[in-house]
Each structure stands twice: as C-alpha cells, then as structure tokens.
Amino acid sequence: MKRNRWLHWVIPVSIKPHTYEVKAALPEHIDVKIITYRKIDDGIEVDYGDIL
C-alpha cells in the first residue's frame, strides 16, 4: 500500500467481470486485489470482499 496525500491509503486493485473467477485456465497472473462485478437488470453488483 502507498500513502497518498489526499487519501490515507491507496490499495492497488483490478476490476474484472464475475466470469473472470471461473476462468481457471487464464495464463495471466495479477498480483493485486481483485474486485468483481456482475451486470444485473437495473445496474451492476460489485463484490469487493477481498479488499476488506
């Protein structure tokens, strides 16, 4: 984590669609926390459980 003068702490994250979680054969490795989202009828649903 890096300290930012406007925010107390900055945590690097990557935002991916929920389908990213089921693609176990992906060759990429992302060394940051991942936030996933899912499209729903009236907007999006965001899962940031790994961040807390």
Q: What does the pLDDT look like over 13-38, one tens digit per residue? A: 888 898 877 666 666 677 888 899 99
Higher confidence at residue 4 or residue 31?
A: 31
Instruction: Sheet with 33-40: list strands edge to edge.
Output: 13-17, 33-40, 43-47
Residue whose C-alpha is closest to residue 33's, from 10, 15, 17, 18: 15
Name residues whose C-beta falls within 8 Å of residue 28's C-beta, 6 or more positions apart in sequence. Answer: none
Per the CB < 8 A criterion, the answer to whether 17 and 38 are in contact is yes
The pLDDT value given to residue 18: 86
pTM higher than 0.75: no
The pLDDT value given to residue 1: 58
The pLDDT value given to residue 42: 95
